[in-house]
Amino acid sequence: MSLLEAEQLSISFGGVKAVQSVSFSVEAGEVFSIVGPNGAGKTTIFNLISRIYDSTAGRLSFSGQDITRVETHAVAGLGIARTFQNTELFEQETVLNNLLIGCHIHRKTRFWQDILFSPSVRRQELAFRRAVEDVIDLLDLQTYRHQIIGNLPYGVRKMVEIARALCLKPKLLLLDEPSSGLNPEETDDLAFWLEDINEALGITVIMVEHDMNLVGQASDRVMAMADGQLLTIGSPAEVQNHPEVLRAYLGQ
C-alpha cells in the first residue's frame, strides 16, 4: 500500500481545468518531486492534498484512509504537514512561537486547563519546548529563536517554515518550492537537510521544485506536469530527457 494515492484527481475553477485526471502514488520513505512549467497545476495539487481546495472529481487516500473530503484542519492531524510557496508564517510572532504552533496538533489539554495553566499544561509546554529545540538544532535556527518573523530575511523564513512543518512530526511533508528565493549556498544546505529529514527522521517528502539540480540530487522519483495534465513519472534522469517534458519546457 502506498502512503499517498491520488486517483483521477481533477479540479476546475470556472472553465479553467487546473488539474485534469492526475493519478499518482507516493511510497512511504521516498522523496517525490513534482516539476513543470508555471501554471502546470503543481501547487494546486498541494492545495488539494491539504484540502484548501475541493476536488471536482477523483479520490485521494492517505495510508489507506480516504481523505478526499476530510476537513481542512484535520489534515495536519493525519500526519501531513506543508510549507507554502511564498511562506505563510505568523509574521508578528517569534520563531519560537511559530514552531510551538507547529506542535498544536499534539495538544492534549483543554481550554479550561489552559486558562488556569494547570500543571498538565505546564508539563505539556515543556514537552513542546523540547520537541521544538530538537528541530531548532536540526535546522540551525538557534540564532533566530526569539526574533520576530517580520524582521527575518527571506531565506531564514523559508527554513523556519520547514522547521514549523517538522514540529508537527508528520509522516508526509509537502514542500512548495523550498529553494525559491534562496541563494546557491543556501540551496546546497537545503539538499543536505532534505536528506536528513528524509533519512534520519524517516519523513516522506513531496516537493514542488524548479531547480533541476536540487530535484536530481534529492529525489527518488519525479512527476512532470504541464497544463494540469500528467506528462510522465520516473527517475530524475528519465524525466529530464522525456520528449514531452522537453516540449513542455522548450516549446515545439
Partner 1 sequence: MRFIRRTDYEQDINLVQHKGHVLWYGLLLLLVFSAPLWLDRFLLGEFTYVFIYAIAGLGLMLLVGYTGLVSLGHAAFLAIGAYVHAFLLGHGWPFPLSMLFATGFSALVGALIAIPALRMTGIYLAVATLAFAVIVEQVLVHWEAVTGGFRGMAVPKPVLFGINFSDPTLFYFLSLLLLLVSLVLVMNILRSPSGRAMTAVRDSETSAESMGIHLAGTKTLAFALSAGFTGLAGALFAHRLTYLAPDAFTIVTSIQLLLMVVVGGLGSLHGVVFGALFVGLLPQIIAIARDSAPPVVAQIPGLEPAVFGLIMILFLIYEPLGIYGRWQKIRQFFEEFPLYRRATHRRQKTFLRTERLR
Partner 2 sequence: MEIIQLLISGVSQGCVYGLIALGFVLIYKATEMVNFAQGDVMMLGAYVAITFTSIWGWPYYWAVPATLLVMAGVGILLERLLFRPMIGEPHFAVLMLTIGLGFVLRALAGAIWGSEPRALQMPYVGDVLRMGEVVVGYENLAIIAGTALLCLLMWLFFRFTTVGLAMQAASQNQLAAFYVGIPVKRIFMLVWALSAVIAAIAGILTAPVSLVDPLIGFVGIKAFAAAIVGGFGSMPGAILGGLLVGIVEQLAGLYLPPGFADMSAYVLLLVMLVIRPQGLFATMQKKKV
CA end-to-end span of the chain, whole Å? 39
Q: How far is the CB of 115 from partner 1 (least distance, A)?
A: 5
Q: Pick the closest to residue 8 from 207, 230, 245 (CA basis).
A: 230
Stretch touching partner 2 by CB under 8 A, among 81-89, 94-102, 204-212, 213-221 = 81-89
52 binds partner 2, rule: CB under 8 A: yes
Contacts of residue 208, defined as CB under 8 A and 6 or more positions apart, other chains included, come to: 33, 34, 35, 42, 43, 45, 46, 85, 175, 176, 177
Out of 27, 54, 66, 88, point to the residue binding partner 1 (CB under 8 A). Answer: 88
User: Nearer to partner 2 by C-beta: 175 or 245?
Assistant: 175
Beta bridge partners of 172: 80, 204
Stretch touching partner 2 by CB under 8 A, among 84-92, 167-175, 210-218, 219-227 = 84-92
Which of partner 1, partner 2, none does residue 139 bind to, with CB < 5 to 8 Å depending on kind? none
Asked if residues 208 and 175 have their Cβ atoms less than 8 Å apart, the reply is: yes
Q: How far is the CB of 245 from partner 2 (least distance, A)?
A: 26
User: Nearer to partner 1 by C-beta: 131 or 214?
Assistant: 131
Asked if residues 145 and 96 have their Cβ atoms less than 8 Å apart, the reply is: yes
Stretch touching partner 1 by CB under 8 A, among 119-127, 179-187, 198-206, 228-236 = 119-127
x/- mask, partner 1, residues 127-166, rule CB under 8 A, reads --xx--x------------------------------x--
Which of partner 1, partner 2, none does residue 86 bind to, with CB < 5 to 8 Å depending on kind? partner 2
Cell reading at 57: 472529481
Which of partner 1, partner 2, none does residue 247 bind to, with CB < 5 to 8 Å depending on kind? none
Q: How far is the CB of 49 from partner 1 (least distance, A)?
A: 10
Question: 151: which DSSP letter?
Answer: G
Backbone angles phi, psi at 231, to 5 degrees: -95, -55
Asked if residues 144 and 152 have their Cβ atoms less than 8 Å apart, the reply is: yes
Asked if residues 245 and 237 have their Cβ atoms less than 8 Å apart, the reply is: no
Q: Pick the closest to residue 34 from 177, 198, 160, 200 (CA basis).
A: 177
User: Where in 58-77 is the site for partner 1 (CB under 8 A)?
Assistant: 72-77
User: Nearer to partner 1 by C-beta: 123 or 247?
Assistant: 123
Beta bridge partners of 5: 25, 61
* Dist. CA 67–CA 88, nearest whole Å: 23
Task: Round the CA-based radius of gyration of the chain to a whole number and report it.
Answer: 19
User: Nearer to partner 1 by C-beta: 31 or 149?
Assistant: 149
Residues that bind partner 1 (CB under 8 A): 50, 52, 72-77, 81-82, 84, 88-93, 96-97, 100-105, 107, 109, 111, 113-117, 121-122, 124-126, 129-130, 133, 164, 168
